[in-house]
Amino acid sequence: MNYRNLLKTGLAAVMAVSLAACGSSGNGGSDSGSSDGAGSTAALKLGASGPITGNAAVYGLAVQHAAEIAIEEVNAMGGTQLEFNFQDDQADTEKAVAAYNALMDWGMQISLATVTSGSGQAVAPNYAQDNIFGITPSGSSTAVIYRDTVNNTDPYGVLFQMCFTDPNQGTASADYLNTHKELGSKIGIIYRSDDNYSTGIYQTFKAEADKLGLNIVDTETFVDSDTDYSVQVKKIADAGADIVFLPIYYQPASQILVEAEKQGFKPNFFGCDGMDGILTLENFDTSLAEGLYMLTPFSADAEDEKTVNFVKKYTEKYGEVPNQFAADAYDCVYAIKQAIDHAGITADMSTDDITAAMVKEFTSMTFDGITGTSMTWSESGEVSKAPKAVVIENGVYVGVE
């Protein structure tokens, strides 16, 4: 064996050992939001993961920022103290599992689960296996809370949602259009066929619309990498649609609005919560979004005290108006605090006891937040709150009946 081989094998061994060293000491994480002046009660460890780098970073950052604001407020009240650890998962299933394990190394006791649905469905079995309570602010897919996604049965039981599930949004949208025939009766749909969120809403919208006898004149699809929507818009216009349902996120929706304007096609547009954020999109002429309807649980211009306070703090700290993801995260923290206070949960309890108590509280309590009032949760983890419809008028959301 010559020196070169020795060197190579040595390097390999060193690598393995250093990996090992990393492994036993690498369970650090920042403790942002922990409070130091907080009486004698130890802080409960609240974890969360979401994308703060990569394409979906805007959602993860919104949740992280809003949760930090809420936790600061909760800790300042005295009483229940929370320690927050937010891990980056890049909205990727593999990274989400790694982020979950990093949180477990840190000693997570209660969780905000994940920001995105894809990550949520990847770690849901881990939450169930380790028996950790989680409430996701924005993981809206049914796969986040149900094992059986065909019939939406067999829930994990420890995972709850603050947002509507995708199917609920589809059904609610169809119901809304059915009772508001003045918006339009010939429905055109454009949705993204390679996106979980979009197809989830489309499928239940279609099912409900068929049941109600709504007239869908044309359905068009696009995929992630598409940048030109002229064909879809042209076909919808040719089919004579007077209302276009867009169960998609705001970036492609903005391009569809631009294309419709270009073609002189002027129906009513109707979107879901993914449309939230269209007014803050850079380089987008917001006048095109005038008259856009959407179902969203949160509007930043609401005048109740809680919303005003939250929007003010968020805008001061991060220089932008909070979106619905942020609002959901803010509500999650307060719902968790309400449950902790009512059940008398302390940091020295075992996670099994904490989870059992949290699940019991969530399935029995009523919560008033900024994304809805009198919210309740079913045993499978779905939230029940009234969807609000808003329309964009003069560049701001205005609530409509």
Partner 1 sequence: MNVIKNLFSPKKRSRTISLLIVIIAYAILQIMSSTHNISRLLMSLLVPVCAYITAAIGLNLNVGFSGELNLGQAGFMSIGAFTSVIIAGIFNANGIEGIPVLIVCIICGSIMAALIGWLISVPVLKLQGDYLAIVTLAFGQIIMSLINNLYVGLDANGLHFAFVTNNMTLAEGGRMLISGPMGATGVRTVSTLTAGAVLVIIALLIAYNLIDSKSGRAITAARDNRIAAESIGISISKTKTLAFVVSASLGGAAGALYALNYSSFVAAKFDFNSSILLLVYVVLGGLGNMSGTIISTALLVVLPEMLRFLQSYRMLIYAIVLIAIMLISNNETLKTKAEQFRNKLGASKRKGAE
For residue 143, state whether it binds partner 1 (rule: CB under 8 A). yes
> Which residues 39-68 are close enough to bind partner 1 by CB under 8 A?
52-53
Which two three-digit tokens encode residue 354?
A: 């904490």
Residues of span 329-348 touching partner 1 by CB under 8 A: none
CB-nearer residue toward partner 1: 196 or 286: 196
Q: Does 238 engage in binding with partner 1 (CB under 8 A)? A: no
Of 49, 130, 125, 46, nearest to 92 by C-alpha is 49
**Position 159 contacts partner 1 (CB under 8 A):** no
Q: Quick check: 227 binds partner 1 (CB under 8 A)? A: no
* Count of residues that interact with partner 1, criterion CB under 8 A: 61
Strand partners for 215: 186
First to last CA, the chain: 82
CA-wise closest residue to 289 among 302, 270, 306: 270
Task: Indicate which single residue of 68, 72, 83, 92 sits in contact with partner 1 (rule: CB under 8 A).
Answer: 92
Binding range to partner 1, per CB under 8 A, among 65-73, 142-150, 170-178, 280-288: 142-150
Do the Cβ atoms of 257 and 292 come closer than 8 Å? yes
H or E element at residue 166: helix 166-179
**Quick one: residue 78, left, alpha or beta (phi over 0 = left, psi -120 to 50 = alpha)?**
left
- Confirm or reject binding of residue 97 to partner 1 (CB under 8 A): yes
Pairing of strands 44-50, 110-114: parallel
Query: What are the residues whose beta carbons fall under 8 Å from the beta carbon of 49, sequence distance 6 or more?
Result: 86, 87, 88, 89, 96, 99, 100, 103, 113, 114, 115, 119, 123
Q: Does 216 bind partner 1 (CB under 8 A)?
A: no
Site stretch for partner 1 (CB under 8 A), options 94-102, 250-258, 281-289, 292-300: 94-102
Return d(Cα 111, Cα 400) in angstroms, integer.
34
Residue 76 engages partner 1 in binding (rule: CB under 8 A): no
Nearer to partner 1, 223 or 348 (CB): 223
9-38: which residues touch partner 1 (CB under 8 A)?
9, 11-13, 15-17, 19-20, 22-24, 26-30, 32
Assess contact for 79 and 67: CB atoms under 8 A. Answer: no
Among 80, 81, 87, 138, binds partner 1 (CB under 8 A): 87
Contacts to partner 1 by CB under 8 A: 1-5, 8-9, 11-13, 15-17, 19-20, 22-24, 26-30, 32, 52-53, 87-88, 92-94, 97-99, 101-102, 104-105, 118, 121-122, 124-126, 141, 143, 147-150, 193-196, 198-200, 203, 221, 223-224
